[in-house]
Structure 1
Amino acid sequence: MPTARKQQISLSDTPYYHCVSRCVRRAFLCGEDAVTGKNYEHRRGWVEMRMLYLSRLFAIEICAYAVMSNHTHIVLCVNVEKAKKWTADDVLTRWHQLHKGTLLTQQFMRDGHIPSHLTPFLDATIETYRQRLMDVSWFMRELNENIARQANREDECTGRFWEGRFKSQALLDESALIACMAYVDLNPIRANVDKTPETSAHTSIKMRIRSAKRNRQPNLLNPFIGHSKEERTNGLPFDLKEYLELVDLTGRIIYHDKPGSIDLSLAPILQRLNVPAESWIIMATQFEQHTCTAVGTEAILTDYYQKFDYKRRPKINKTKALLA
């Protein structure tokens, strides 16, 4: 039986999640159908634009993503503190860009006030919307439903476009986070769709490299803030330059299909996180095969599974060997 979503999303344990959505049709989400010859490549743009648009409305930031021919990978970060700081106007303005809301919320946004006896109802509605705008399930719902409707309209058909629900993994520590991000960023390289990260269309790594050439970071992606975190409280706890070098080096090994190892002198992130080079190659190329609902060291995983009363610890031995 599938694990309940509430047992997969636990913001008290981690704000980082890896979400995967797969298409169920023979016809591709993107790419070219070898049978009909019809090209669906433009749908990659649909997914990317919608995802980045939602990240501006939700208190959910994009760490990494890759839009493939029949599935999408997204690494998300839920920014709870950001959502808590929103005013009532902030929440309703964001929600009304996605849905009509209620007659009460429409009246409040139009007139700036409502009868006092209706205030408790308005406050409850605003709190409901606030929770939805920092909910991973709602984010993926707003993304996948929109794409499914567009695809059905284009294909002139009805029915299910995606699998029953998206897959999610909790990334419990920095090692799991960086391994998952690299795995997602290198998806096109591993699938032999592209030769280099900077030419991988509709991926976060291409966007980051393009911005890095101008000495900046993409506004629409969760920024790298380095080890000190300085004045920022939210962002990826890695150095951007180190991460790009690590992904580039890993990509070269994958593309040339060599079993070689990474020179640790060129990978300070791995040294700091104490991840063996051999384990890194496996995690960056086979992340989903060796992980399950949650990813982290043995101690962190044990606490996580005990908290949610798991009867068994899926793939704990594989993860232990890689992230010991």
Structure 2
Amino acid sequence: MGNHFHLLVTMRPEDEVSDKEVQTSFQRRYGDEYTLMPGQIPFYRQKWTSLSEYVKEIKQGFTRVYNKKRGRKGTFWAERFKSVIVEKGETLINCLAYIDLNPIRAGLVDRPEEYHWSSLGYRFRSSRKDGFLSWNLGLKEYNVKSPKERLRLYREFVYARGGVDLGKGRILDAIALPENVERFIQRTRFFTDAGIIGSREFVRQGFELFRDIIRPKRERKPHRIQGLDQVYSLKRLT
């Protein structure tokens, strides 16, 4: 976007990453010029399974390149990133659709795949060239088809959610809950500020798991998001 970006990523816990995977990642990143010592493995395992470190490297790397290109100095990003824990399945694919529809809401393009810096646009141009983006789109029916078919199904889902015109007056709002299109657009803040978003049980369990990090002043209960069926938020947003 003009002054920020959105990422939907799967972070793996440290205990699910083997020593061999850390060594392989190290060699891919630094080549044969450097050798990873056994005592360094825990450090890199922690570093490469940390969301904060992941975002930090992206932002710092971009800033270095941008500053060099523009002949400027100093920081580029004004604030710390915000993060939301998203449940797999229906909530996840709605979150991905929210991200891909951002350029439409901002008036940058007429169709989401026309925006070069989005996952939908990238998949349209490079869907069969590499494995840069995951094809796990959150729903079982999107995982059993060919990449081309998954792309078609997901595109229809995004168009329906955003009420996007296909051309010649045709709108794919009959494919995925057309009565919720406007409500979906009005509830988009939940995908950036909810804290935890998903089913009631997912939000409840997430709160208990991260209670020591959240440190709430009072007990938090899942709040239902009106207009999004069976989706709850950790925070009550207006």
Give me the TM-score of the superposition, normalised by structure 1.
0.55
Counterpart mapping for 1:138-153 below 5 A: 138-153=53-68
Residue 287 in structure 1 maps to residue 188 in structure 2: yes
Closer, same or farther: CA 85–165 of 1 in aligned 2, 3 Å: same
Are the counterparts in 2 of residues 298 and 320 from structure 1 also a CA contact under 8 Å? no
Tell whether the 8 Å contact from 1:73 to 1:184 is kept in structure 2 after alignment: yes
User: Deviation digits for residues 159-205 of structure 1, max 9, x if unmatched?
Assistant: 33213311111102322211110011111111110001221121110
**Aligned Cα root-mean-square deviation (Å):** 3.6
Calculate percent identity across the aligned residue pairs: 24
Give the aligned residue type for 2:66: A
- In 2, Cα distance between equivalents of 1:165 and 1:153: 22
Aligned length: 215
Q: Is the 8 A contact 2:85 2:195 kept in 1?
A: yes
C-alpha distance 321-300 of structure 1, shift in aligned 2 (>3 A): farther
1:179·1:280 contact (CA, 8 Å) conserved in 2?
no
Partner residue of 1:69?
2
Matched with 2:173 is 262
| Corresponding position of 2:236 | none
2:24 paired residue number: 90
Report Cα offsets for 1:17-43 as digits up to 9, x if no partner.
xxxxxxxxxxxxxxxxxxxxxxxxxxx
Counterpart CA distance in 2 for 1:155 and 1:194 is 26
Shift of the 277–296 alpha-carbon distance from structure 1 to 2, 3 Å rule, reads farther
Pairwise CA distance, 1:157: 3.7
Which stretch of structure 1 is more off in the superposition, 73-82 or 291-300? 73-82
Q: Secondary structure at the match of 1:262?
A: coil
Residue aligning to 1:313: 220
2:131 paired residue number = 219
CA distance change for structure 1 residues 95 and 198 in 2, over 3 Å: closer, same or farther? Answer: closer
Distance in 1 (alpha carbons) for counterparts of 2:182 and 2:72: 42
Deviation at 1:154, TM superposition (A): 4.0
Q: Which amino acid in 1 is paired with 2:207? A: Y
Q: Secondary structure at the match of 2:9?
A: strand
CA contact (8 A) 1:296 1:323 kept: no
Pairing partner for 2:89 from 154, 157, 174: 174
Amino acid corresponding to residue 102 of structure 2 in structure 1: N
> Relative to structure 1, is the Cα distance of residues 218 and 244 closer, same or farther in structure 2, using a 3 angstrom cutoff?
farther
**Would you say 1:322 and 2:228 are equivalent positions?**
yes
User: Would the alpha carbon gap of residues 220 and 85 (structure 1) be closer, same or farther in structure 2, given more than 3 Å must change?
Assistant: farther
Unaligned runs of 5+ in 2: 231-238
Note closer, same or farther for the CA distance 1:282–1:261 as it changes in structure 2 (3 Å cut): farther
Normalising by the residue count of structure 2, what TM-score does the alignment of the two structures yield? 0.72
Distance in 2, Cα, partners of 1:75 & 1:136: 11
* Contact preservation (8 Å) 1:296, 1:319: no
Runs of 5+ unmatched residues, structure 1: 1-67, 98-104, 110-121, 231-235, 268-275
Summarize the Cα distance change of 1:284–1:125 in structure 2 as closer, same or farther, 3 Å threshold.
farther
Q: CA deviation at 1:132?
A: 1.7
Larger RCO (CA within 8 A; separation ≥ 6)? 1
CA distance in 2, matches of 1:88, 1:300: 30
Hey, what does 2:46 align to over in structure 1?
131
TM-aligned CA distance change 1:323 to 1:303, over 3 Å: farther
1:148 and 1:161 in contact (8 A); partners too: yes
